[in-house]
A and B are shown apart, each in its own frame.
Chain A
């Protein structure tokens, strides 16, 4: 016990007697456990159902302990289930999502960095207005943009293409990426840029050699934000793509909406979890930086 007190972290609950401390801690953990369980319950149920036989689910419903466990639903979801006219499981749609989310994330982040750089360090007459209008996009509901996008995609000949979705997500994301990057870059001291200008560096050299090397925290934040947002997007996918061009999120609807046939709840469950994996992975590996990047000024 004596040793333990040597390295005691700050503990906001450590304000009363020992007994009271134990009680309040127990209460806090009990509450946290309860909330965690409540939050994880749906995921748990979906996960369980993904390992159940279909007749088992049909007999006892969703909320039951599996009788037997099987990997069959996962195999089907990945390889053979018939979706939107093809019987290759969710793989083609998974690929669509990757082909859409990766370029859109990269392009919108790159433009966000560039916009933020200009709007924070190369201000021009009216640049505050430009910034204001760009960030207005943050507050626009996506539904409001559907008609304009339908018009744009139609005229550009991009209806029902991955390129169309990339364009939409890039442009829709610019408001966020610009906001993030600009607010991060305003914390970079002006003197740094002045010194670089005197040192003979121009617009691009300052960007590449001074600003970008300082940017990893905000790049991580932006990439996580964009990738999860784009991957999980459902609205644009459902509205602007169909058939084998759909991203995984809207394809899952086709999976569940097969009104004529029997519903394969176990395969649906497996497919849903598979669809959720990439953003989860990204958050798992980058989440630490995400939280840190959102809260700190980052440049010393």
Chain B
């Protein structure tokens, strides 16, 4: 049973079309992440689900009920804002009680809901403070608390962690994940941080310029990005893309990259995506590169490349190496002990079983 279903949704401000043909659904208890670059329409979509923005065309259903023209208060949703939007003149307790008061929830019930949520989020000592007397992390918690007391059908988050510093962000991310486990509410979570999306979501919706690019499980999005945009947006460092031409190697399918600099085999038996000689785009993630002596027996479809080391970027747990391949630069992931030195020429294998091929004209995955 889906809690939220969105059908052919469109939004335009005058002549400006901000969202196009959005189709989404969230099953009971699911955690959906909406990701995309700034200005792609994530907040607008969330605002439409909340009822804060009007619908130009299409349908939004919550628990099967068409809510296009239902007021925000009657949609049974709760929302956490990027700015937290805590009422500055009210204490934490009053902030949490405000929504229940508006709905005429009896006092005793309000009090017990606040106590329950305050305990859950460990904000009991803060209940009598004003928002201005809280740290960023505490405000964040209170904002979530205000959403939680209402016990709504649907949770909406608009970049709730983007105002926190890096360390706190990671902590709160884990906490949100735990919280979701515990309360198991259907959640729509907007972020432009793909790590947040990958770690939290059961499914990710990637948006670009108002169009939904792909809606799938995190692993699927990562391994089989539907198009070049998704491939570049998800993953850090992003996927390397190389222009290539369909060819054959030892009778099997293959691609030739960089004007014949190298021919890389494709898994045997894969149907040729295009006729030999046709151009394609080859997508390789940094971790698809393998140092020769680390090749595993099950990695049978290996291509071989020679490249010059341009930049070496150790991060501690792994080292990113920028390699020059003819006129192109690619980023490969190395174990710190295997990392080469700048200026060296190295030989590196490519695990072609994981490679993605894209159509250069449509930019779609082949």
**When chains A and B are docked, how far (Å) is the Cα of A214 from the Cα of B87?**
10
Complex CA distance for A264 and B263, rounded to whole angstroms: 112
In the complex formed, the residue of A with least CB distance to B77 is A198
Closest beta carbon of chain A to B84's beta carbon, Å: 8
Distance (Å) between the CB of A272 and the closest chain B CB?
Answer: 42
A194 to B50, CA, bound (A): 9
Interface pair A198/B87, CB less than 8 Å apart? no
Give the complex CA separation of A300 and B134 in angstroms. Answer: 14
In contact, A199 and B102 (Cβ under 8 angstroms)? yes
A195 on the interface (CB 8 Å rule)? Answer: yes
| Residues of chain A lying within 8 A (CB to CB) of residue B50 | 194, 198
Please tell me which one of the listed residues A194, A198, A214 contacts residue B88 in the complex, with CB atoms under 8 A apart: A214
**B81:A200 contact, CB within 8 angstroms:** no
Q: How large is the interface on B (under 10, 10 to 19, 20 to 34, 35 or more residues)?
A: 20 to 34
Residues of chain A in range 203-222 having any CB-CB distance to chain B below 8 Å: 205, 209-210, 213-214
> B73 is contacted by which of A191, A199, A210 (Cβ under 8 Å)?
A199
Q: Which residues of B contact A196 (CB under 8 A)?
A: 87, 98
Contact partners of B89 in chain A: CB under 8 A: 210, 213-214
Q: A191-B83, A194-B52, A194-B81 are in contact. Are A199 and B88 (CB under 8 A)?
A: no
**How does the 8 Å CB contact mask read for B66-102 relative to A, with 1 for contact and 0 for none?**
0000011100011101110101111000000011001
Q: Which of B82, B132, B150 contacts A300 (CB 8 A)?
A: B132
Pair B87/A210 contact, Cβ less than 8 Å: yes
CB–CB A205/B88 < 8 A: no
Chain B nearest CB: distance from A159 CB in Å? 45
Residues of B within 8 A of A197 (CB): 51-52, 71-73
A201 CB within 8 Å of chain B: yes
**Chain A residue, CB-CB nearest to B71:** A197
Chain A, range 137-183, C-beta contacts under 8 Å to B: none
For B293, list chain A residues within 8 Å (CB): none
Chain B nearest Cβ from A184, distance in angstroms: 14
Q: Is A32 an interface residue (CB 8 A)?
A: no
Measured between alpha carbons, how far is A237 from B79 in the docked complex, in Å?
A: 54
B103 in the interface (beta carbon within 8 A): yes
Given A214-B88, A300-B88, also A191-B81 (CB < 8 A): yes
Contacting A at CB under 8 A, from B148-201, are 150
A245 to chain B, nearest CB (A): 43
A194 touches B102 (CB 8 A): no
Number of residues from A at the complex interface, CB < 8 A: 18
> With a CB–CB cut-off of 8 A, which chain B residues contact A191?
81-83, 85
Contacting residues, chain B, for A299 (C-beta < 8 A)? 88
Docked Cα-Cα span, A176 to B78, in Å, equals: 38
Tell me if B81 and A195 are in contact (CB < 8 A). yes
What are the residues of chain A within 8 A of B103 when measuring CB–CB? 200
Query: A213: which B residues are within 8 A, CB to CB?
Result: 89-90
Residues from chain B with Cβ under 8 Å of A201 in the complex = 73, 98, 102
**Complex contacts, A205 vs chain B, CB 8 Å:** 102
* In the complex, A45 has a CB within 8 A of chain B: no
CA distance A189 to B86 in the complex (A): 10
**For the complex, what is the distance from the CA of A72 to the CA of B275, rounded to whole Å?**
114
How far is the CB of A185 from the nearest CB of chain B, in Å? 14
Residues of A within 8 Å of B146, CB to CB, are 195, 199
Q: Does A130 have its Cβ within 8 Å of any Cβ on chain B?
A: no
Residues of A with C-beta under 8 A to B52? 194, 197-198
Q: Who on chain A is nearest to B78 by CB?
A: A198
> Are A192's CB and B85's CB within 8 A?
yes
User: How long is the Cα–Cα vector from A149 to B267 in the complex, in angstroms?
Assistant: 90
User: A195 and B102: CB pair below 8 A?
Assistant: no
Can you list 9 A-B contacts with CB-CB less than 8 angstroms, sorted by A residue number?
Answer: A194-B50, A195-B85, A195-B146, A196-B98, A198-B50, A200-B103, A205-B102, A209-B98, A213-B89
Residues of B at the A interface (CB closer than 8 Å) are: 47, 50-52, 71-73, 77-79, 81-83, 85, 87-90, 98-99, 102-103, 132, 146, 150
Known: A199-B98, A199-B99, A201-B98. 5 other contacts (CB 8 A): A196-B98, A197-B52, A198-B79, A198-B99, A201-B73
The 4 A-B residue pairs whose C-beta atoms are closest, nearest first, are A200-B102, A199-B99, A213-B89, A200-B73
